[in-house]
Amino acid sequence: MLRRLLPGATFVLLFISASLSPSLIQHQRLVGFDVFDTPPPPIWPLPEDPVEARKAKLVNTLLPLIQENNRILLEKRQRAESLMARVRHGDSLSKRDREWLETMGKRYRLPEVEQVDEEWMTILLRRLDIIPADLALAQAAMESAWGRSRFAREGNNYFGQWCFSKGCGLVPDKRPAGARYEVQRFDSPAESVAGYMRNLNSHPRYTELRLIREKARADSAQISGQQLAGGLHGYSAIGDTYIRTLRVLIRANQFERFEHY
């Protein structure tokens, strides 16, 4: 959905030049998240400097959740790829598989069909894929002002997601007269991360992002936040400025190191 930059998100620019030092990183094993053939997510100790402490706290909170959601997405993608092969060969699908595809179709906003075909499965695979951690962290930093925003503190909303049912979230102090949106409230940071990823993977505004990612897959290239940021014109009313700022955040804070998570 198209959104204006939320109050507080603009002053995140004050922090992007103070990137975290690599010396702050300590690699430790996180129970329950050792799922890739890459080093486990680092635990960043909280330094005395308040800006760097704020950054470290945000990464410590969100990075394991991003990794876990990406693990789940890859599991779903692997199953969908297996079913795609059967569809291509004209094999019949079990009731269980058909029900699973129906559930995925509803979750990721695919059109309802009597019988899935190769075109439908291609769309599903385009939507069942990871959101690189460097992009997710940069968006969380920008949207929540490194976790300082009211919406992050009171509603566990780190990505600025909106909702449109009365009472579904927090009403912005400067919401325009007549506007009905609220900033969605989540029960936990984990719910916020899951909702953010599902939004990017299903909303029509982010089709460009998904096509960029699909091409990277086809080219056997790394799926990077720097690339996928180019598909986020619809995320904010400030458009290209939003994308440029995300890319600066990724570089300044060396978030590329987390692309594998």
Q: Does residue 4 sit within a domain?
A: no
Q: Does residue 232 sit within a domain?
A: yes
For 5-72, where are the E strands, in sequence order? 26-27, 42-43
Q: Give me the pLDDT at residue 53, please.
A: 86
Residue in this structure with the two tokens 């949207």, named with its chain if needed:
143
Q: Give me the pLDDT at residue 115, please.
A: 94
Q: Does residue 5 sit within a domain?
A: no
Instruction: Measure the CA–CA gap between 214 and 220, rounded to whole angstroms.
Output: 10
| Type of residue found at 20 | L
Terminal Cα distance for the chain, rounded: 26
Q: Give me the pLDDT at residue 143, please.
A: 97
Task: Say which CATH number the domain at 230 has.
Answer: 1.10.530.10
| Type of residue found at 165 | S
**Do strands 182-184 and 42-43 pair parallel, antiparallel, or not at all (unpaired)?**
unpaired
Q: Give me the pLDDT at residue 232, please.
A: 98
Q: Give me the pLDDT at residue 260, please.
A: 67
| Number of independent structural domains in the chain | 1
Q: Does residue 249 sit within a domain?
A: yes
User: Which structural domain range is residue 81 located in?
Assistant: 10-258
* pLDDT tens, per residue, the chain with 261 residues: 445 444 444 434 434 433 333 333 332 223 233 333 444 455 555 556 688 888 999 999 999 999 999 999 999 999 999 999 999 999 999 999 999 999 999 999 999 999 999 999 999 999 999 999 999 999 999 999 999 999 999 999 999 999 999 999 999 998 999 999 999 999 999 999 999 999 999 999 999 999 999 999 999 999 999 999 999 999 999 999 999 999 999 999 999 998 765
Instruction: Measure the CA–CA gap between 182 and 167, rounded to whole angstroms.
Output: 8
Q: Give me the pLDDT at residue 155, please.
A: 97
Q: Does residue 2 sit within a domain?
A: no
Q: Does residue 3 sit within a domain?
A: no
| Type of residue found at 125 | L
Instruction: Measure the CA–CA gap between 192 and 158, rounded to whole angstroms.
Output: 7
Q: Does residue 1 sit within a domain?
A: no
CA dihedral 77, 225, 53, 144 (to 10 degrees): -80
Q: Does residue 129 sit within a domain?
A: yes
Strand partners, 43: 26
